[in-house]
Amino acid sequence: MIPLAIGIDIGTSGARAVAMRPDYSIAAQSAVQLAGFGDNARSPSIWWSAVSAALEELLPAIEPAAVRSIAVDGTSGTVLPVNGAGEPLAEPLMYNDKVSDGTILSMVAREAPETSAAHGATSGLAKALWFQRLPGVAAVLHQADWIAGRLSSRFDVSDENNCLKTGYDPESRRWPDWIAATGMRTELLPSVVEPGEVTARISLGIADQFGLPRDVLVVAGTTDGCASFLATGAEAAGEGVTALGSSLTIKILSDRPISAPRFGIYSHRLGNAWLAGGASNSGGKVLAQHFSLARIIELSATIDTATETGLDYYPLGAAGERFPIADPALSPRMAPRPTDDGEYLKAMLEGIAAIEALGYRRLAELGAPKLTSVRSVGGGAANHAWTAIRQRKLGVDFLPALSDAAAAGTARLALKGAGSAGLL
């Protein structure tokens, strides 16, 4: 019987589960939508119902007795307060929710180092400071921590990646002293371990509920973004991953941390390596303002990728850019417009590819390694014309992504934990 590890991804729209073999091949996977369990996608009870349903769909496709470990990733910056039994005390604040309390924000701004990811109204620390006022609060957790806690009955531990926006210092690998100066009750913050480290065994009740062995290990997970990177198979310094979704996001594996707050760049620690990246306001959302998906597919088939339009576009949906140019007033540059729709689309694809190339150069300027290869995920990765244009702009090898499912990246962490425990 080949041992298996399970990765769970809980996102903004659904829950996904992947069962993975030690050679990183996927044995089975499942996905369910949060909407199937109610209207409030920020309800922890709905999160858990979706996770349970994803497991119930996954397990009949494998041998449950082969499962050795399980890990969870969640949305970065989603925070909730719990009591001593791990029960939520209030509706969570999601990754993009803002804390409006000026006193909290000013305290964090005053005490946090410039390079800390805890700055801003959406930071995990601002949310923790808000939630610590509640009566009966015993801990402030991240989304992935709480789901893992439901699996293990341990509600006092997190991972280095989820804790980054709550003020954790991944270089010194501890909660820094300045956090207490913000007024944060540090005893409410979880203990922190490296992603892939064993934190507990599955609780007996959960093992019996799902028909899993009672010695399944619960392993520290990560954020959804880090999990998506891990899923691709990128593992060496200089390897990059580009996500071509509604926005353009790039990440590169580095041998040193990269911090550039003005570009929104902070580094997640992955063992002895670092994951740095940035997100542009350009991307698929801009294309969708001009063409339907069907029209993009139709026009892309007509594009001659061996030639250049000569148009120097910077496609944006509105004024303002964050990376690789930090300028809230930067205007879109999408003129002159060719009369031919195919040429217009080609010029936009060239422009977004140029932004991608500039992004990787910017990371190198900030101290990241020179880009050696790229793996692509997201809907735009299937556009062959865009891929050819990008390859010409970037000038590096394009490698296949082993998976674009965040749950597969988290399953890799679960395998790591099982391996360290000698179970593989």
Contacts of 321 (CB under 8 A, 6+ apart): 280, 281, 282, 314, 327, 328, 330
The pLDDT tens digits of the residues spanning 226-238 come to 999 999 999 999 9
Edge-first strand order for the sheet with 373-377 is 268-270, 273-280, 248-254, 239-244, 373-377, 397-399
Please, what's the b/e burial string for 164-181 (b: 16 or more CB within 10 A of its CB; e: otherwise)? bbbbbbbeeeebbebbee
Nearest alpha carbon to residue 212 among 30, 17, 420, 55: 55
Binned at pLDDT 50, 70 and 90, residue 3 comes out as very high
H or E, element range at 149: helix 143-152
The pLDDT tens digits of the residues spanning 240-275 come to 999 998 899 999 999 999 999 888 898 999 999 999
Binned at pLDDT 50, 70 and 90, residue 12 comes out as confident
Contacts of 268 (CB under 8 A, 6+ apart): 160, 161, 164, 170, 222, 223, 225, 226, 274, 275, 276
Q: Residues 137-155: what's their mean pLDDT?
A: 98
Nearest alpha carbon to residue 36 among 16, 48, 50: 50
Q: What whole-number distance in Å separates Cα of residue 419 and Cα of residue 403?
A: 21
Q: What whole-number distance in Å separates Cα of residue 129 and Cα of residue 123?
A: 10
Binned at pLDDT 50, 70 and 90, residue 40 comes out as very high
Q: What whole-number distance in Å separates Cα of residue 70 and Cα of residue 58?
A: 13
Tokens at 356, concatenated: 């991608």
Q: Is the pLDDT of residue 312 over 90?
A: yes
| pTM to 2 decimal places | 0.93
Q: Would you tell me the crossing angle of helices 293-300 and 341-365 to the nearest 10 degrees?
A: 90
Tokens at 179, concatenated: 């956090």
Tokens at 46, concatenated: 């709905």
Per-residue pLDDT at 139: 98
Q: What whole-number distance in Å separates Cα of residue 392 and Cα of residue 203?
A: 52
Q: Residues 334-358: what's their mean pLDDT?
A: 97
Cα torsion at 227, 228, 229, 235 (round to 10°)? 60
Task: Please check whether residue 84 is in contact with residue 21, taking contact to mean a CB–CB distance below 8 angstroms.
Answer: no
CA 77, 78, 79: angle at the middle one, nearest 5?
Answer: 105
Task: Please check whether residue 291 is in contact with residue 337, taking contact to mean a CB–CB distance below 8 angstroms.
Answer: no
What are phi and psi for residue 170, nearest 5 degrees?
Answer: -75, -15
What residue type is 23 in one-letter code?
Answer: D
Per-residue pLDDT at 261: 86
Q: Residues 73-84: what's their mean pLDDT?
A: 96
| Residue 305: how many other CB atoms lie within 10 Å | 18
Q: Residues 15-35: what's their mean pLDDT?
A: 97
H or E, element range at 80: strand 79-82
Mean residue pLDDT of the chain comes to 96
Per-residue pLDDT at 60: 98
Contacts of 14 (CB under 8 A, 6+ apart): 31, 32, 33, 34, 50
Q: What whole-number distance in Å separates Cα of residue 370 and Cα of residue 362?
A: 10
Contacts of 73 (CB under 8 A, 6+ apart): 7, 8, 9, 10, 144, 221, 222, 223, 224, 226, 227, 406, 407, 409, 410
The pLDDT tens digits of the residues spanning 170-179 come to 999 999 999 9
Q: Is the pLDDT of residue 348 over 90?
A: yes
Give the three-class secondary structure for 48.
Answer: helix
Contacts of 294 (CB under 8 A, 6+ apart): none
Per-residue pLDDT at 282: 96
Binned at pLDDT 50, 70 and 90, residue 162 comes out as very high
Domains of the chain (ranges, CATH numbers): 4-226+406-420 (3.30.420.40), 234-399 (3.30.420.40)
CA 102, 106, 111: angle at the middle one, nearest 5?
Answer: 155
Between 91 and 261, residue with greater pLDDT: 91
